[in-house]
Amino acid sequence: MTLSTLPPAAMDASAHRTEAASGPGAILALDLGTHTGWALARGDGSIVSGTEQFRQDRWSGGGMPYLRFRHWLGEVAETSGGLGLVTFEEVRAHAGTAAAHAYGGFLATLTAWAEGVSVPYEGVPVGTIKRFATGKGNASKAAVIEAMRRAGFAPKDDNEADALALLRWSLAHRAGGLA
């Protein structure tokens, strides 16, 4: 990630403003995976979101996506002025083994990084996020995308939409509510 992805004018990030108080530090919401969706509520009330690729290529070792993810987390924390909370979509069942392995690696990297820099973190079940965003715990990807569009966001895909829905849940339940 370059530093230019965090300001609202970035080409690969969506921007929005809310009046919710986020307390000390920004709130980062993550839909973990090789194509990670992210949404960030900064202390000034602005919200930015996007996606980041952490895929392995043929010229790098198997741990490189996780090292890039850890570096990206540090950049987000630094450029946002510090993180007060990280929430992530807690997936309890995966359709495939490869997805489960990747999720486990990103989750381990996230939690180890957060522990190392003393940032609180919380997993939120998928059904809880979908129910909050759409009213249905088993809502489709399209329904979550549409719900985020109705909320004034412009997610480019389901990963970004999931991160935005999680951020809205985090603001409502962990940061004093949505405006």
Query: pLDDT digits over 102-113, tens only?
Result: 999 999 999 999
Higher-confidence position of 13 and 134:
134
For residue 124, what are the β-bridge partners?
89
- Please state, in angstroms and as integers, the Cα–Cα distance from residue 151 to each residue in 28, 62, 121, 158, 161, following that order: 18, 38, 25, 15, 11
Under DSSP, the state recorded for 5 is: G
Mean pLDDT of the chain: 87
CA-CA distance, 135 to 152, in Å (whole number)? 17
Report domain 3-174's class. alpha beta
Confidence at residue 157, expressed as pLDDT on a 0 to 100 scale: 98
* Alpha-carbon 161 to chain mean position: 9
Higher-confidence position of 170 and 57:
170
CA-CA distance, 52 to 40, in Å (whole number)? 13
- Its pTM stands at 0.85
Residue 116 has pLDDT above 60, yes or no: yes
**In the structure, what pLDDT confidence band is assigned to residue 118 with cuts at 50, 70 and 90?**
very high
CA-CA distance, 10 to 170, in Å (whole number)? 24
Q: Indicate the domain borders of the chain.
A: 3-174
CA-CA distance, 53 to 23, in Å (whole number)? 29
Residue 17 has pLDDT above 60, yes or no: no
Query: pLDDT digits over 34-52, tens only?
Result: 999 999 999 888 999 999 9
